[in-house]
Amino acid sequence: MTNTKNTPIAVGQILIIKFITDADLQVPCIVTNRTKSFATIRLGKDEVVKTKIHKSITDGSEFVYPYGKYSMCPIARQINTKGN
């Protein structure tokens, strides 16, 4: 597999939600729609949210805040097969 850093989020892609408070908990979600600035993701079977796409200043990868942006909020990133 290839490294997904700097690869844009795409429709049909699986993102992994990681939580600061529990490093072992990783929840998958799937991208159902994508525009230039926003992604619609499906969380579980019923919940669908539209969220802004952010770009990391450290490595340029794209990520989203599936539950909103607040202190210690979880983030969803692409699956990275190399490194973290």
pLDDT in tens, the chain (84 residues): 445 567 899 999 999 999 999 989 999 999 999 999 999 999 988 999 999 999 999 988 999 999 999 999 999 999 865 555
Within 10 angstroms of residue 13's Cβ, the number of other Cβ atoms is 17
For residue 55, with 0-12 CB atoms within 10 Å meaning exposed, 13-18 middle and 19 or more buried, which class applies? exposed
Query: Would you give the DSSP letter of residue 65?
Result: -
CA distance 72 to 31: 23
Q: Evaluate whether residue 68 is within a structural domain.
A: yes
Say what the pLDDT of residue 50 is.
96
Residue 42's domain spans which residues? 14-78
Q: Evaluate whether residue 8 is within a structural domain.
A: no
Say what the pLDDT of residue 59 is.
87
Say what the pLDDT of residue 80 is.
66
Q: Evaluate whether residue 9 is within a structural domain.
A: no
Q: Evaluate whether residue 28 is within a structural domain.
A: yes
CA distance 11 to 23: 26
Q: Evaluate whether residue 44 is within a structural domain.
A: yes
Say what the pLDDT of residue 81 is.
54
Say what the pLDDT of residue 7 is.
82
Q: How many domains does the chain have?
A: 1
Q: Evaluate whether residue 6 is within a structural domain.
A: no
Query: Would you give the DSSP letter of residue 20?
Result: S
Tell me the Ramachandran region of residue 58: left when phi exceeds 0, alpha when psi lies from -120 to 50, beta otherwise: alpha
